[in-house]
Each structure stands twice: as structure tokens, then as C-alpha cells.
Amino acid sequence: MCYREIAPPKPSANRGRIYNATSMKKQVLSACVALLFLVACSNKQATNSAATSSSTSSSSPSKPPDAVQLKLQEYAGNSATNCGRLDIHAPEAQSKSAADCAMQASKAKHAFYVAYDMPGMALGVAGNAEGKLFTARSEGGAVSSGDCPSELRLAASGRITCFAPGDMGSMGAGHTAIPPGMPNPHALPKAK
């Protein structure tokens, strides 16, 4: 015989897989690169947002603005410095930082606002660029606000306030230091 019979190549089980392997590797690689870009971008935004909020706020984890904060922002204006929103249990360093921010901004006649969350109420102080001071308070859902009745000061609690010691009466009914008709307990003679 002068010729030899050549058998067709045996079908390989891996032939289809090998063909698709490079195509799939490219698709998986493209998907991984796209995912890395998305993760990197979202991490950068989260980092920038955290850096921005920590540079403008010395508060605990941020929460969405409520009626008190919105009123303070309205009083202070768009370019106001957010000195923080602190919880009653905020560390002393945070309270001091917020107080320093508000006092310095007020002295420089730079707009600012600071707010405090306490059980059952939120309150805060704002100052505008003209040096005018405002206060806002929310208790039981109702918000009362208006001009500060006194100079800005640091209270014994470490919080910024614009009320004279013992005076919350200008914030509306039910907020007086001494109920109407009751004598001042500090003015009564001491029991012997």
C-alpha cells in the first residue's frame, strides 16, 4: 500500500474549554478591573466625606438634620461653620472643641452653629456674619427659636449657651427656671 490511512483527529474534551478559556479570562479580568475602580471611587468619596465632616464637625456619628439643626443653619447662613452636633455623653475633648469653635467664630463675627442632643430635647446656638446670635430648641417635637436673650457663654456643663445662668424662660411656656408664683428658693432664708 502506498498510502497510509490517516484518521481524523480525535475530538478533544478540552478543545471547547480551551477556546473559551481565554475569552472568559478576559471577561473576568475586565469585570475585576471595573469592580476595583468602583470600589476605589466609593472609598475615596467616603474618605473625602468623612474628612470633610470631621474637619467641620466635632460631633458624634452624624445624623440627618432635624428641625433644630435646619433652623440653626437658616439663621447662620450657607457659609456658616458647623461647630458640631454633640450628644450629652460626648467626650470632654469633643465638647471643648465645639465650644472653642463657636466662641472663636462668634468673636470673629463668622457665621457658625452648634447643637446638642439631650434626652427628650435638642437645642443649639447659631451666629450670623453680623454677630447676631440665635437659639433653637426642640422638645416633644415642637421647635421654638429666636434671638438669644444674653451673650454667648460657656455653661458649667461645657456646652455653649446664650442664656443667663438659670434662665430658659425666653424659650416659651414651660421652660422657666422657676415656675410662676413660686418664690426663688435661693432668696429664702436658710433653715436652722
What confidence tens digit (pLDDT) does each residue in 99-153 have? 999 999 999 999 999 999 999 999 999 999 999 999 999 988 889 999 999 999 9
Residue position matching grid coordinates 433653637:
136
Statement to judge: residues 28 and 77 lie in one domain: no
What confidence tens digit (pLDDT) does each residue in 139-176 have? 888 899 999 999 999 998 889 999 888 765 444 433 44
Structurally, the chain folds into a number of domains equal to 2
Residue 24: which domain range?
16-46
124 domain residue, yes or no: yes
Statement to judge: residues 84 and 149 lie in one domain: yes
33 domain residue, yes or no: yes
58 domain residue, yes or no: no
189 domain residue, yes or no: no
Query: Which residue in 117, 101, 110 sits closest to 65, CA to CA?
Result: 117
Statement to judge: residues 38 and 72 lie in one domain: no
Yes or no: say if 135 and 162 are a contact pair by the CB < 8 Å rule: yes
Statement to judge: residues 89 and 166 lie in one domain: yes
Q: What is the pLDDT of residue 17?
A: 53
